[in-house]
Chains A and B, each alone.
Chain A
C-alpha cells in the first residue's frame, strides 16, 4: 500500500462523495477511504456477494469499496443491506465484458442520525452486457439514505440493457433520501431505464390492514417488508433471501415506529 501521504482524502465536493458524512471522511484513516477490494469473475462464471452490515453502534463508520471485472458471459451479483453505523458506504464499480451481467440489490435502513449510501458505477465496456440494480431505502428520525448510480456505456457497447430503480420510504418527517442517477451513453442501440421515487408509508394500506385486525406496528412491518423485498427478488437462494429480509426488518424493531 502506498504511503498515506500520497493518498487523496475525498471531500463532499467530489461528485461521488457529495452526500457522504463529511465528519467521517475528514477524520477516517485515509488509507481505508482509498482501499479497494477486487474481484475478477472469470468468463462464463457467476460470483455472488450477500452482505448485511449491521451494528448497533451508532458512532462507527464503514466504507467498503469493491472493484469487479466480469469476464464475457459472466455474472456478478451483490445483495447488500446497510443497517447500522453512523456512516456506511458500499461502493461497487463493475466493468462488464461482452454478454456479462451485473445484478445489484441494496437496502439502506436506519434511524437516528445515520447516513447510509450505495454508490455504483457500472461500466458497459462491450456489447450485449446487461445490468439491473434495485435499491430501497427506509429511514426515520434524522437518518439519510443515498443512492448514486452511474452507468457508462462505451461507444461499441451496442445492445446494452441497463436498468436501475431506486425507491425510498421515509417513515418520519426529518428523514432524507437522495437519488442521483447518472447515465453516460456513447453507443446508440442501448436500453437504459432508470427510476427514482421517494414517498411515505401508504396510509390507506395501513388502515386497510388495521380494519382486518392487524395492529399498527405489524402493519408497518409488513409494508416495509413488501417494500424492501423488491431489492432481493433476484436473490435466487431462498434461505439467503429470507435472512436478508429478516435482518433488515430487525432494524425496525425497538424503534418507536
Chain B
C-alpha cells in the first residue's frame, strides 16, 4: 500500500534520511521507533510534502501512485493522513469550518458530492464521541487554547471525519495521560483497523503499542531502517534500549 524505496531527504542542505526503505501492506499497522534525531519526524513530513523537506533521491509509491509527484493537498485527497506531533493553531477558523472545508475539498477532488452542513455535523458528532471530545470543542477555533492532550484527540477526530486510507501518526501519544492514551489508541483502532487501510505509527513508547497492536515494528536510526521485526521487537527495545538492540542487529 505504501512503498518507500531508498529515500533521501535534506533540510537546509543537511542530509537527514539516508536511503530509507520500508513497505507497509494494506491491513497493517507498522510502528517506527528510534532514538531522538533519527529522522522519524522528517519521514512523516517528507511523506506529507512539507515545504523545505527536500527529497533528493528515492521513491514513494502510495496506492499505485507516485506520492512525491503530488502536492500536499493532493496527497490528502489520495487518502493520506498526517497526524502532527505538534498540531497547529489556526486563530479565527473553527474546527467545524476547517474540517468541513477539508472534507468537501477532498470529496470534490475525488469527484464526490459535498456534504451538507447537517450531514457534516452528524458525522463530526459521531467521531468526536468516539474520541470523547466535547462537540463544543469542535465549535472553537482550531487548536487554539487546547491542551496538549486535547490537540491530539482533536487530531484523531479529524482523522475519523476525513476517513483516510493510510495514516502516518507522528508521536500521537506524546502529551497524553494514561486515560487519554487509551482513548486515542482505541480511536486509531476503530478508525484505521481495516483490511484496506494502513498505519505508520511513529512512537517512543510501548504504552501506545499495548493498545494499538502493531503487526510490524521497525527501528529508524541514522536516517535508515536498521531493523524490522514483529511486535516483540518493541518489547525488546523497552527492556534493553536502542543501543543494545542495535548492537545485536
Contact = CB atoms under 8 A, between A and B. Distances in A.
Contact of A212 (B51, B91, B102): B102
B92 A226 contact: yes
Contact of A209 (B75, B91, B98): B98
A51 B39 CA distance: 53
State the majority secondary structure of interface residues on A.
Answer: helix
29 contacts: A203-B51, A205-B88, A207-B72, A207-B88, A208-B84, A208-B90, A209-B73, A210-B72, A210-B73, A211-B75, A211-B76, A211-B82, A211-B84, A212-B99, A212-B158, A212-B162, A213-B73, A213-B76, A213-B77, A213-B102, A213-B106, A214-B73, A214-B102, A215-B73, A216-B71, A218-B101, A219-B73, A225-B93, A226-B92
State the majority secondary structure of interface residues on B.
Answer: helix
Contacts of A202: 90
A28 interface: no
Contacts of A216: 71, 73
A223 B97 CA distance: 12
B15 to A, nearest CB: 22
B200 interface: no
A209 B99 CA distance: 9
B126 interface: no
Contacts of A213: 73, 76-77, 102-103, 105-106, 109, 162
Interface residues of B, number: 30
B48 interface: yes
Contact of B101 (A205, A207, A214, A229): A214
Given A208-B84, A213-B102, A223-B93, 12 more contacts: A202-B90, A205-B90, A207-B72, A207-B88, A212-B102, A212-B162, A213-B77, A213-B103, A214-B102, A216-B71, A219-B73, A222-B98
Given A207-B72, A213-B162, A214-B73, A222 B51 contact: no
